[in-house]
Amino acid sequence: MNELSIREQILRAIAVALGGDGSPAAAVFRSRLDQIRSDGDESALPCFDISPGKERDDPDAADHDAWGRLLSVDVRAIVDGTGHEYGDGALDPMYLFAVRSMMCDETFGGLAISTEWTGTDEPVFLPEGRDIIGLTINFDVKFAVKRGDPAEKG
């Protein structure tokens, strides 16, 4: 019996994908935006911060043995844009890598049914004594779990 939910396994697979070969990120975090902004640790930038959002029912992915689920996931790319010619242009390598990594295997090794890139928010400039710039890239991950056991694929 697996002790991690399919949801958690997917989130961990996303972290591995974003930190994989060729990643422009120095680090990948989970739901740590406040710490990244305030700790002043330059070695943590650039980074990705993964934040799971609302998980909701997806009747299209359900059957009599499985519950269909749709999980919103925000991937924040955070960089120090100090000295970059175009400021928010410093985000572009992170943006490209995040979208490509999330979509190259949209099942995350068979854990999910599919992944949809649902949008990108406008860049956020965080004046903290350095030019921290963030961009949130939004995804919906569809998966199914066995009825009564969110640790088993449906």
Mean predicted confidence (pLDDT) in 42-60: 88
Res 123: pLDDT: 83
Nearest to 61 by CA among 147, 150, 1, 143: 143
CA terminus-to-terminus distance, the chain:
14
Q: Is the pLDDT of residue 39 over 60?
A: no
Lookup: tokens for 110: 């068979």
Query: What structural domains does the chain harbor?
Result: 6-149 (3.30.70.1700)
Q: What is the pLDDT of residues 8-34, one digit of tens each?
A: 999 999 999 999 999 999 999 998 765
Dihedral sign, Cα of residue 7, residue 14, residue 61, residue 55: positive
Q: What is the pLDDT of residues 59-85, one digit of tens each?
A: 887 788 999 999 999 999 998 877 777
Mean predicted confidence (pLDDT) in 135-154: 95
Q: Which helix (H) or strand (E) holds 97?
A: helix 92-104
Residues β-bridged to residue 143? 69
Q: 114-117: long-range contacts at Cβ-Cβ below 8 A with a sequence spacing of 24 or more?
A: 114/141, 114/142, 115/139, 115/140, 115/141, 115/142, 116/140, 116/142
Q: Is the pLDDT of residue 41 over 90?
A: no
Q: Which of 107-111, 119-123, 148-152 has the lowest mean pLDDT?
A: 119-123
Q: How far is Cα 121 from Cα 134, in angstroms, rounded to an integer?
A: 9
Res 103: pLDDT: 96
Mean predicted confidence (pLDDT) in 44-56: 92
Reported as half-sphere exposure (CB side, CA atoms, 13 A), residue 19 has a value of 17
Instruction: Provide φ and ψ at 143, rounded to 5°.
Output: -150, 170
Res 127: pLDDT: 62
